[in-house]
A = this chain, B = another copy of it.
């Protein structure tokens, strides 16, 4: 059984896969910190499925970009479980995760996540999930100016981007709002889509993918 965790955004998600089947997935957005929800949610999921901790064979984690604190909590939880049970840890991108539902539909895919501080994280993919623009952080106004062809708009920053893209005359289709809720079960599919990425990560060295420095780091530098 494989455990997947995504706490890169305000809505957290966990999932369990047994054999080739997703047997459980849950999403929660209950305005308390991931550090209070993740472990109880994981514990419940394993018990609900009639399994035990010892049945876990690997942990998949979404390592960003996204919320600084959310990523730290998710990564710490995933590392702890992988370390404790002596099982491998795999890491995948939150931008790939949010773009995944729109693959195979014949259009490019803009995955974008609210980075706060008037910025968004984004990447552009082709319909067969090739990276056309690599992950980066940008202002919504700058992003709306890029030529991205005809594309499907995905991810938590969609409500921010939609009016700007409409104003810029972009040819795009917003993905149904239901799919803006992250689903950790997608991490299992990313492992199949990107075999090259699908290698165990060193538990000690694995860092969140931030794409920019945290507010605390910037403030600290400015004071130095």
Contact = CB atoms under 8 A, between A and B. Distances in A.
Interface of A: 21-30, 32, 37, 40-41, 44, 48-50, 100-107, 152, 173-179, 181, 183, 185-186, 189
Nearest to A105: B173
A182 B40 CA distance: 24
B48 A152 contact: no
Contact of A103 (B28, B50, B176): B176
B174 A178 contact: no
A179 B181 contact: no
Nearest to A174: B104
A41 B120 CA distance: 35
Contacts of A174: 104
B152 A105 contact: yes
Nearest to A189: B178
Contacts of A185: 27, 178, 181
Contacts of A104: 173-176
A27 B22 CA distance: 9
Given A48-B41, A176-B100, A27 B30 contact: no
A5 to B, nearest CB: 15
Contacts of A178: 22, 100-101, 183, 185-186, 189
